[in-house]
Chain A
Amino acid sequence: MDKNYIIELLKQQIKDYKTQVQTEKVGTVVEVGDGIAKISGLAEVMASEMLDFGNNVFGVALNLDEDFVGAIILGNYSQIKEGDTVKSTGRILEVPVGPAVVGRVVNPLGQPIDGKGPIKSEKFYPIEKIAPRVITRQGVNTPLQTGIKSIDAMFPIGRGQRELIIGDRQTGKTALAIDTIINQKGQNVICIYVSIGQKEAKVARIINELEAHGAMEYTTIVCAGAADPAALLYIAPFAGCAMGEFFMDQGKDALVIYDDLSKQAVSYRQISLLLKRPPGREAYPGDVFYLHSRLLERAARLNPDFGGGSLTALPIIETQAGDIAAYIPTNVISITDGQIFLESDLFYQGIRPAINTGLSVSRVGSAAQIKAMKQVAGKMKLEMAQYRELAAFAQFGSDLDESTKKQINLGARLTEVLKQPQYEPVPVQHQVLIIYAVINGLLDDIAVEKVKEFESGLIKYAQTHGKAVLEKIIKEKQLTPEIEAQLKKLISDYKQTIM
């Protein structure tokens, strides 16, 4: 580029520069520390208004007291001193939304942290918004396929539902969420993964995994790491929710995963205690229930008059030693439309995903399943429950009658089929095929140890020899007698080839 041209441009800019003097509302920092600032002045500040501390550090006014304003500082607070001037901005905290953030890794303020350049988005959404009202909603009726056999068959999740994933550390909670994101490929669902207080190494691994499976194209990662101030951890799920809400308002389907809300509750507790709000049970502030309920209530399925979009929420809660009766777990269980309970005992027995079929539930139920799945998996939950009861009984090795043996055999094979390795979501038609085979006793002559092998073989075989019938399942969405006959034939044909 020409040197003179640049200089000309610069001169022009300086010439065009208009001096503007405007009145600003200001306050003074009285006290600062631990990510909290006490500010005097700022007479007309609004609750949860953004405050400008200068040097690109912002804060949010949370406590409006008689003499002081209590604010959280979003970002580095080490440069803020007592006596500094704070400007009010007149804006509520907002984040960039829209297609520009998809495929990016951002912090809870919507600033990119993946080194792929600035985010050029004209649209901003406030992070706190009132949830969609009654008239804008409708019942959940479209499945959100997680690709995990046990979930799709027994605890189906619908678009617009809120399903809690709960369990101890190291039980595969995040793995379930990531598999669900991977399975949304080609399903027209925008995914937002909110990582709250996780190790950055873990987040990096997740990003790599998503990229390897081509899932970053439709995914945004909102990351508030373990080293970030508590204020950022606290607002992270709201920021992720706002990004998802934009797509819902556009009539699209979005999925938000909050990983995990127990860490958010802990950071909110820290902020509240520092702001001297009175502590309640387990030292959480009184509004910790409202913190989660107002967030999760923003998940919705809008009716066609309002665009028909949806926002599905999968919050994650980490329990301590399987205690789901602690404060935060019971709160979130009562807010959500069901929970998937993961257990470390099952995990170590090799049943992975380690879903406890007895304690897990989906309150939306079969409205979120395609009819074919409903037909094959309808009685699965009951069979599994009976199997668990009998299996505990049968351990004593006593003689069993024929019907009990049958029940145990079926249960053992079902358990085997529901096992599934990580990063390998199964399409719904394959799920229908294999569950159909088990539940109808077509696998009874296969040894339990061989079931996994049989399953992968059958699916491979079906992909070449049974394409038509698999496509038909997707198209018709139900099992007609004709399809059923074809499935039976397909399975027996495959059996012939391996015998």
Chain B
Amino acid sequence: MKVNTKNYAIALYDATKKSKAEELKLFIKNFVKILAAKNLIGLAPKIIADFNQHYDDTEGIIEVKITSALELSEAEKKEIKNQIKNLTKKEVELKTIIDKELIGGIKINFADNLIDGSLKTQIQNLKKQLLTIN
């Protein structure tokens, strides 16, 4: 039978949802024991990823990845956070990446959406537009 990691993640979430901190340790320990007994330790990273996804989905948290050329200030991060919170009506968890290739501006990734405000893309678009005039 094909193992569905999603089901394990959901089970783990349901079991740990209302538990207290001291219980949690035991739960996790038992969960790992089950995985070991079923020879599924190899799937752990996938289960963790699925758990992450499921946790965010049910708790209304959204992971937002911001790629920028330069380090963003705290004020800028807060502004972006608020904007996306308004847009999605979800709690925002920020993740920032520095990528010099963007030259300037930022790229915002959340769920399957991409808001591309980087200078690199703008320049590419300008190039495209200049090439289309005869």
Whether A85 pairs with B114 at a CB distance below 8 angstroms is: yes
Whether A24 pairs with B116 at a CB distance below 8 angstroms is: yes
- Give the chain A neighbours of B113 by CB distance below 8 A: 23-26
Q: Which residue of chain A has the shortest Cβ distance to B4 in the bound complex?
A: A66
Compute the total of residue contacts between A and B using a CB distance below 8 Å.
37
Q: Which residue of chain A has the shortest Cβ distance to B119 in the bound complex?
A: A19
- Give the chain B neighbours of A17 by CB distance below 8 A: 126, 129
Bound together, the chains give a CA A17 to CA B109 distance in angstroms of 25
Q: Of B114, B125, B129, which one neighbours A24 at CB under 8 angstroms? A: B114
Q: Which residue of chain A has the shortest Cβ distance to B111 in the bound complex?
A: A43
- The contact string, 1 if C-beta is below 8 Å from chain B, for chain A 13-50, is 11001011111111100000000000001111000000
Bound together, the chains give a CA A22 to CA B129 distance in angstroms of 17
Interface presence of B130 (CB below 8 A): yes
Q: Of A10, A43, A44, A87, which one neighbours B130 at CB under 8 angstroms? A: A10
Interface presence of B112 (CB below 8 A): yes
Whether A23 pairs with B126 at a CB distance below 8 angstroms is: no
Q: Which residues of B92-134 are within 8 A (CB) of A?
A: 109, 111-117, 122, 125-126, 129-130, 133
Q: Of A9, A19, A22, A25, which one neighbours B112 at CB under 8 angstroms? A: A25
Whether A42 pairs with B117 at a CB distance below 8 angstroms is: no
Whether A27 pairs with B112 at a CB distance below 8 angstroms is: yes
Whether A19 pairs with B122 at a CB distance below 8 angstroms is: yes
Looking at the assembled complex, report how far the CB atom of A456 sits from the nearest CB atom of chain B, in whole angstroms.
54
Bound together, the chains give a CA A9 to CA B109 distance in angstroms of 36
Bound together, the chains give a CA A23 to CA B114 distance in angstroms of 5
Whether B112 pairs with A43 at a CB distance below 8 angstroms is: yes
- The contact string, 1 if C-beta is below 8 Å from chain B, for chain A 467-492, is 00000000000000000000000000
Bound together, the chains give a CA A339 to CA B122 distance in angstroms of 56
Q: Which residues of A83-116 are within 8 A (CB) of B?
A: 85, 87
Bound together, the chains give a CA A315 to CA B36 distance in angstroms of 59
Q: Which residues of A40-78 are within 8 A (CB) of B?
A: 41-44
Bound together, the chains give a CA A42 to CA B113 distance in angstroms of 9
Q: Which residue of chain A has the shortest Cβ distance to B109 in the bound complex?
A: A26
- Give the chain A neighbours of B117 by CB distance below 8 A: 21
Q: Is the interface of B mostly helix, strand, loop or mixed?
A: mixed
Given contacts A19-B122, A21-B117, contact A42 B112 (CB under 8 A): yes
Q: Which residue of chain A has the shortest Cβ distance to B108 in the bound complex?
A: A23
- Give the chain B neighbours of A44 by CB distance below 8 A: 112
The tally of residues in A whose CB lies under 8 Å from a CB in B reads 20
Q: Which residue of chain A has the shortest Cβ distance to B118 in the bound complex?
A: A21
The tally of residues in B whose CB lies under 8 Å from a CB in A reads 14
Whether A23 pairs with B129 at a CB distance below 8 angstroms is: no
Q: Which residue of chain B has the shortest Cβ distance to A25 in the bound complex?
A: B112
Bound together, the chains give a CA A213 to CA B116 distance in angstroms of 53
- Give the chain A neighbours of B130 by CB distance below 8 A: 10, 13-14
Whether B115 pairs with A23 at a CB distance below 8 angstroms is: yes
Whether B111 pairs with A21 at a CB distance below 8 angstroms is: no
Bound together, the chains give a CA A13 to CA B122 distance in angstroms of 14
Q: Of B109, B116, B129, B133, which one neighbours A21 at CB under 8 angstroms? A: B116
- Give the chain B neighbours of A25 by CB distance below 8 A: 112-114
Bound together, the chains give a CA A127 to CA B119 distance in angstroms of 36
Bound together, the chains give a CA A41 to CA B125 distance in angstroms of 25
Whether A13 pairs with B112 at a CB distance below 8 angstroms is: no
- Give the chain A neighbours of B129 by CB distance below 8 A: 13, 17
- Give the chain A neighbours of B122 by CB distance below 8 A: 19
Looking at the assembled complex, report how far the CB atom of B79 sits from the nearest CB atom of chain A, in whole angstroms.
15
Whether A13 pairs with B133 at a CB distance below 8 angstroms is: yes
Looking at the assembled complex, report how far the CB atom of A372 sits from the nearest CB atom of chain B, in whole angstroms.
54
Looking at the assembled complex, report how far the CB atom of A30 sits from the nearest CB atom of chain B, in whole angstroms.
13
Bound together, the chains give a CA A366 to CA B133 distance in angstroms of 55
Q: Which residue of chain A has the shortest Cβ distance to B113 in the bound complex?
A: A23
Looking at the assembled complex, report how far the CB atom of B43 sits from the nearest CB atom of chain A, in whole angstroms.
14
Whether B114 pairs with A14 at a CB distance below 8 angstroms is: no
Q: Of A14, A22, A24, A26, which one neighbours B126 at CB under 8 angstroms? A: A14
Q: Which residue of chain A has the shortest Cβ distance to B130 in the bound complex?
A: A13
- Give the chain B neighbours of A21 by CB distance below 8 A: 115-117
Looking at the assembled complex, report how far the CB atom of A213 sits from the nearest CB atom of chain B, in whole angstroms.
35
Bound together, the chains give a CA A482 to CA B117 distance in angstroms of 82
Bound together, the chains give a CA A334 to CA B90 distance in angstroms of 56
Looking at the assembled complex, report how far the CB atom of B6 sits from the nearest CB atom of chain A, in whole angstroms.
9
Q: Which residue of chain B has the shortest Cβ distance to A24 in the bound complex?
A: B114
Given contacts A14-B126, A17-B126, A19-B122, contact A26 B114 (CB under 8 A): yes
Looking at the assembled complex, report how far the CB atom of A271 sits from the nearest CB atom of chain B, in whole angstroms.
24
- Give the chain A neighbours of B126 by CB distance below 8 A: 14, 17
Bound together, the chains give a CA A73 to CA B115 distance in angstroms of 25
Q: Which residue of chain A has the shortest Cβ distance to B110 in the bound complex?
A: A23
Q: Which residue of chain B has the shortest Cβ distance to A45 in the bound complex?
A: B112
Give 5 A-B pairs besides A9-B133, A22-B115 with Cβ atoms closer than 8 angstroms. Answer: A10-B130, A25-B112, A26-B109, A27-B112, A87-B114
Closest 3 CB pairs of A and B: A26-B114, A43-B112, A21-B117
- 7 intermolecular pairs with C-beta atoms under 8 Å apart: A13-B133, A21-B115, A25-B113, A42-B112, A43-B112, A44-B112, A85-B114
- Please list the residues of chain B having a beta carbon within 8 angstroms of any beta carbon in chain A: 109, 111-117, 122, 125-126, 129-130, 133
